[in-house]
Structure 1
């Protein structure tokens, strides 16, 4: 039995085929135009411990350390310089050497960094875990380094100092940590490089004594006023008087000045607040 094709059915088949044909190039175009995310690679340095292997050539597997000169000795190739190269570049360098020397026809080289020793930065001062830390990625930032050190200790300041070398010149900058997390603060989270030192100083302090409930040293918060410091000290005792409050402040010449500051005046690091006893 023979069936005649219906014109309506034929039209539907053509429409579906047209849709499928149009969809395929669009999908391919979308895939081709998708942005590729490039991640900066770690640069090999002296002291790094590597494991180098060549696919299907176990006799070429090598576990070695990069020398101070940035070189290592590889079987069949001898001494090669890989210091400053990325892992991908070092793999290609070895593969090209094996191929050009007719040692391996299609070498597939893999390098695994076992220990990062060549690129390190130090964190000192008021942090929870001071020490030297490896720079394991090329885009390691100040906040990453500070996180490795356990963050700023309770006695640490909000402004930290990063020093090192940039383009052969001495480099030093101060970073306001709270500003890093403000809108647009990401630009201040600078990249850390080999040999950098991050210093976290102690937090600024003020000292209060005399007729207050809790005399002693206290952390000087940003913008803290004289009244706020007295409140932190528990306020005046029954014998204390606001008229007898004096602020002892060391000037630029090293001499101490005695000031009768207003309650809303901001204090400075090292200020000593003295509350006198009321005479009446």
Structure 2
């Protein structure tokens, strides 16, 4: 009889061993010790940095501003004044001081014509021949025409204006009311100015992404960041392309929360505390409030302010895991002032007792399997 119990126990142990060897306990993500393993070294070598959320961290990050446009496209500056370019259309008025000259007619000594700048950068002017115009201001073109007419016309004068700009224009496409090509004004136009010219964005500013393409360089920013930070509202340059898309900011929630998955911000600014609320809070029976984590990339400059000992091993974009202990009442104030960013990842680890419960459930399953096997052996022995 005793041998049968020993045999059954052996089967249970074997089943548990097989289960343990095949896989770990099922979970929605890493455990606390996997994210931040115990180590006597204060900064163990990991593929990310773990930073405890406190008031100092909140203060440092509140000063940080996303700067995709000003960083990529240098300091904002006005575009140069009116410059003639290939493909532009010029309105040219020629005048003489008296009758009987080259341009004399029944309507006076004046001629008006329009010329499109050829691919070689020049225009054709009666009696003046080919005049170089591309790359010059209208005033320079006027002087060149007058110089070419000297000795042929009576005290000639010229007035040149750009009536159609092709070379100094930009394109706006996407979620705007009036997409198309627009000329750059003499005073220069900023990104928000050209969006207004194109009829404005169709979506809310916090759900609108603006992409600026200049040559081979490209950068994107949320429209509300251009409004909040004027240094990002850079001047548009000739041949820039601006794409406006609807791109709501989201964060992703995982682990012991009622509503895991991608979640829209839904408002202009979302705090960490509000994000927890949108995810449904924490599941009482499963979550470990002391093991709440936020994953994101931070610029190296911000990390150096938070961690003066940072050795720069990750380069300019540092993977950071913020650890929040919601058992500490102060953490709720920290989370209230900690602003979320697009594509942040929240993770709430399971409580240790939850892991124990999972293990006991597996053990119970293994024991039932062993009991069934033992019963089958007895039946087989009797047959």
Correspondent of 2:155 among 106, 124, 134: 106
Cα distance between partner residues in 1 of 2:193 and 2:339: 33
Once the two structures are TM-superposed, the CA of residue 82 in structure 1 deviates from its matched residue by 0.6
Structure 2 matches for 1:33-44, cutoff 5 A?
41-44=81-84
TM-score, normalised to structure 2, is 0.44
Structure 2 matches for 1:102-251, cutoff 5 A?
102-103=152-153, 105-124=154-173, 127-137=176-186, 139-152=188-201, 153-154=203-204, 155-157=207-209, 162-164=212-214, 189-199=233-243, 202-207=247-252, 211=258, 217-219=263-265, 224-231=270-277, 241=284, 244=287
Alignment correspondent of 2:343: 270
Q: Secondary structure at the match of 1:102?
A: coil
Cα distance between partner residues in 2 of 1:186 and 1:267: 21
Alignment correspondent of 1:16: none
- Unmatched tracts of structure 1, length 5 or more: 1-39, 253-257
Query: What count of residue pairs does the alignment treat as equivalent?
Result: 223
Cα distance between partner residues in 2 of 1:194 and 1:225: 39
Cα distance between partner residues in 2 of 1:249 and 1:131: 40
User: Normalized per residue, which structure has more strand?
Assistant: 1
Deviations 1:147-187 (A, max 9, x none): 32344542214xx554436xxxx6667778667667xx766
Cα distance between partner residues in 1 of 2:81 and 2:344: 48
Alignment correspondent of 1:92: 143
Alignment correspondent of 2:12: none
RMSD: 4.6
The structure whose Rg is larger is: 2
Cα distance between partner residues in 1 of 2:126 and 2:137: 20
Bigger RCO of structures 1 and 2 (CA < 8 A, at least 6 apart): 2
Deviations 1:8-41 (A, max 9, x none): xxxxxxxxxxxxxxxxxxxxxxxxxxxxxxxx64
- Unmatched tracts of structure 2, length 5 or more: 1-79, 96-107, 299-320, 326-331, 355-383
Cα distance between partner residues in 1 of 2:248 and 2:124: 50
Alignment correspondent of 1:13: none
Contact 1:116/1:136, CA 8 A, preserved across alignment: no
Cα distance between partner residues in 2 of 1:172 and 1:251: 20
Cα distance between partner residues in 2 of 1:101 and 1:191: 44
Correspondent of 1:77 among 105, 128, 149: 128
User: Normalized per residue, which structure has more helix?
Assistant: 2
TM-score, normalised to structure 1, is 0.57
Alignment correspondent of 1:54: 94
Cα distance between partner residues in 1 of 2:233 and 2:151: 46
